[in-house]
Amino acid sequence: MVCLEMELRERANFARYVPGQTQGHYESYFQRANHPTRPLAFWIRYTIFSPRGRPDMALGELWAVYFDGEARTHVAAKSEFPFSRCSFARDAFDVSIAGSVLRAGSLVGSAGSGSSRIWWDLRYEGGQDPLFDLPLKYYDRRFPQAKALVGVPLARYAGTLTVNGKAVEVDRWVGTQNHNWGSKHTDHYAWGQVAGFTDYPDSLLELATARLKIGPLWTPSMTLMVVRHRGVEYRLNEPLKSFRRASLRYFGWDFQAA
């Protein structure tokens, strides 16, 4: 198990997609962070989408959202490119979509057009090991079809966002660098994360509630949760033991994970 953990930690951010594969595949690297004291935040994503049986239709996508709670305005941007203009390394953390790049410690690029355009030139760092949403044994299995991890928990971001021509300084914003992939998105789910609590800034919560559709039937809700607190990791993330009560509604999420 120790060897498996070391191997997974080493390749946590390596791409899983094999160009030309006929099995459907999605894979996303997303970064998100909040201003330490003001209601400002960003979310940036580098994504592969390859339809099942149509690898020639594979796309690279760039998504970006800037949240401004002070002005009560948000800007969302997206761009798509053929996979021929993309590179997702399988032996290193090295992603490029039409010139927008993501590597360990930095990301530079842009998304959108017209009145919804966001540029970014950011650096980030973090001292914690990757956090795995699932037990390690599941990452090289077909089940579950969706995998996720946090490559850099409690990352600190610095640099510049340019939102529709307006520069926004990013200085020690706190967030995470994340990676997820699979052959199929989960049918019905909610995902949540807290990167630093008010009274415990070095603690992290990662959780999800999901239901799967198997033929005409839906499974009960499964709730997976991992908490890092005061140097200890608490895991309630075994899928086959995760059938717990949960309900989802607009801006409401109740669950039992004990």
DSSP symbols for 55-101: GGG-EEEEEEEEEETTTTEEEEEEEEEEGGGEEE-SSSSEEEETTEE
Q: Which two tokens stand for residue 51?
A: 């339809």
Same domain, 175 and 249: no
| pLDDT score at 250 | 78
Same domain, 149 and 233: no
Provide the residue type at 58 as one letter.
A
- Residue 179: closest CA among 133, 141, 143: 133
Same domain, 238 and 147: no
Same domain, 3 and 47: yes
Residue 64 within a domain: yes
**Contacts for 84-92 with beta carbons within 8 Å, 24 or more apart?**
85/60, 86/48, 86/60, 88/15, 88/17, 88/27, 88/48, 89/14, 89/15, 90/14, 90/15, 90/16, 90/17, 90/18, 91/14, 92/14
Q: For the segment 101-143, what is each residue's pLDDT rounded down to a tens digit?
A: 999 999 999 999 988 999 999 999 998 999 999 999 999 888 8
CA distance 70 to 58: 38
Residue 137 within a domain: yes
Same domain, 163 and 228: no
Domain tally, the chain: 2
Write down which residue in 185, 210, 238 finishes a domain: 185
Write down which residue in 164, 185, 206 finishes a domain: 185
Same domain, 109 and 195: no
Residue 242 has pLDDT above 70, yes or no: yes
Q: Which two tokens stand for residue 232?
A: 């200890």
Residue 18 within a domain: no
| pLDDT score at 254 | 82
- Residue 66: closest CA among 167, 151, 186, 147: 167
Q: For the segment 16-41, what is each residue's pLDDT rounded down to a tens digit?
A: 999 999 999 999 999 999 999 999 99
Same domain, 121 and 211: no
> Which region holds residue 61: left if phi is over 0, alpha if psi is between -120 and 50, else beta?
beta
Tell me what percent of the residues of the chain surpass a pLDDT of 70. Answer: 97
Same domain, 35 and 49: yes
Q: Which two tokens stand for residue 108?
A: 């530079």
- Residue 56: closest CA among 92, 78, 82: 82
Q: For the segment 63-79, what is each residue's pLDDT rounded down to a tens digit?
A: 999 999 999 999 999 99
Residue 134 within a domain: yes
CB 91 within 8 A of CB 14: yes
- Residue 182: closest CA among 224, 140, 220: 140
CATH number of the domain that residue 120 is part of? 2.40.370.10
Provide the residue type at 82 as one letter.
P
**Alpha-carbon 115 to chain mean position:** 26
Name the residue range of residue 255's domain: 187-258
